[in-house]
Structure 1
Amino acid sequence: MWYEGQENTPFGQIINFTQDGLPYLEYRAESFLLDDNGQKLRPITLETGFWQIDRPLTDADGGFGLVPKDIVPAFADAESVETLRNEDDGFNLIATIAHPGGISENYVGMIKGPVVRMQTGNLLRDEISHDYAGSVRLWGLVNGNLMWDWEIADQEGNLHKHASAELRKTSSMTGDSLGTGIFGSLDDGAEEDSAEN
């Protein structure tokens, strides 16, 4: 973590993407502080939401609410999904993410090859929430690991580094001990992190 007073604080993160046949991925990320041995100290936060290709919805997609979708999906195979590729040879994305404390946001961005970049498109804050103006997130696959960077905007719209990590796929991270072998240091001094897929 990079915010004042917490620079280089080790933390862990479990990220899950699941898919159940609907045209989106369900997303959940649980973060927690770690001690120097990779033991969980306490939870930091949890966020959950949905990621999908940014495209006009049709009757085949179903919704809103319990309105059923058509029996035949709008994009039933890889060839039909390829028609959604943008002029930059990537796919436009939207992600709806809810945070505890009265904050929900829609991210807009693009996935191109092994890189995803998204920024806050719009934001809903309750009166109880902390100050938050939006953020930019970047993910990139490097040597089988997921490099991750999160910058948060202040009220003037200036971005500040918040957290970064190298996420490594593991078979299980549900116990209290994450083990010292899971986490390694990054050359740039960023935090260690892990992900379950």
Structure 2
Amino acid sequence: MGTDTTGDVRTGKGASSPSPELHPSLLPLAFLVGTWRGEGVGGYEGMESFHYGQEITFAADGRPALGYVSHTWWADEPRDGREPGSPLATETGFWRVQPPATEPGPDGKVNRNPVVEVMLAHPFGIAEIYVGTIAGTRVDLDSNVLIRTTTAREVTRSVRLYGLVEGGDLAYAIDMEASGKPLQSHLSARLHRVKE
């Protein structure tokens, strides 16, 4: 993940041209715009691994934020009352881009990559805010704030990596720290762009 092989994300020209409604501040995320569909694998300490299907849509409407919706469904053998195709999770939110830093960080270096802010809500009682950076067609995110209801799972940190891989597919990995367990792999998937 990380190198741009499908077009110029600064101008949006190439294999993944941006929507005409794409706000100029979102050009670093132009490669994400559209609908992506595929399969992934999930698991966590104390949980049997599983396969899932997923569809993600990144939509532009002219405002300086991409709308984001993700739906996942069970794609494994029947287990624990789940049948293939039964819904698993939904995320909805927004992705925004801020200009690169102009001041040095704690390490004394100035990070010239655009900053991305991601706000996500989940129906199981968790809302997340991520902050990260964009480098070509790679987005690195780390949770900045996690809010949960009293009945939600105790998630204390989440780290995400999204990027275009060979063939123009979108791949991602999500690591999670929850229920007193250390940060570890939770979900990963490879999605192809859905032709519209």
Compute the TM-score of the two structures, normalised by the length of structure 2: 0.65
Q: What residue in structure 2 maps to residue 158 of structure 1?
A: 182
Q: Which has the larger radius of gyration?
A: 1
Residue pair 2:153, 2:178 contacting (<8 A) in 1 also: no
- Conservation of the 8 A alpha-carbon contact between 2:170 and 2:192: yes
Corresponding residue for 2:75? 34
How big is the shift at 1:169?
Answer: 1.2
Instruction: Kindly indicate which of the two structures has a greater share of residues assigned to strand.
Output: 2
| Matching residue's letter, 1:24 | A
Please give the residue correspondences for 1:88-103 in structure 2 after superposition, counting only pairs within 5 Å: 88-103=111-126
Q: Which runs of 5+ in 2 are unaligned?
A: 1-41, 78-82, 102-109
CA distance in 1, matches of 2:142, 2:181: 12
Amino acid across the alignment from 1:2: G
**TM-score, with normalisation over the residues of structure 1?**
0.65
2:4 alignment counterpart: none
Look up the match of 1:168. Answer: 192
Q: Which residue of structure 2 lines up, in the alignment, with residue 49 of structure 1?
A: 93
In structure 2, the partner of 1:85 is 100
Q: CA deviation at 1:102?
A: 1.6
Residue 48 of structure 2: SS of its match in structure 1?
Answer: coil
SS in 2 for 1:6: strand
User: Structure 1: which 5+ residue stretches go unaligned?
Assistant: 55-83, 173-197
- 2:51–2:74 contact (8 Å) kept in structure 1: yes
Shift of 1:6: 2.7
Is the Cα–Cα contact under 8 Å of residues 89 and 112 in structure 1 kept in the other structure?
no
Name the amino acid aligned to 1:23.
P
Paired position in structure 2 for 1:120: 143
Aligned to 2:57: 16
C-alpha contact 2:165 2:171 (8 A) present in aligned 1: yes
Q: Is the 8 A contact 1:154 1:160 kept in 2?
A: no
Structure 2 Cα separation of the partners of residues 2 and 101 of structure 1: 18
Give RMSD over aligned pairs.
Answer: 2.0
Aligned to 1:147: 171
Once the two structures are superposed, residues 141-179 of structure 1 have per-residue CA deviations (whole angstroms, 9 ceiling, x without a partner) of 11211121000013557211101111111237xxxxxxx
Query: Residues 124-139 of structure 1: matches in 2 within 5 Å?
Result: 124-139=147-162
% same residue: 32
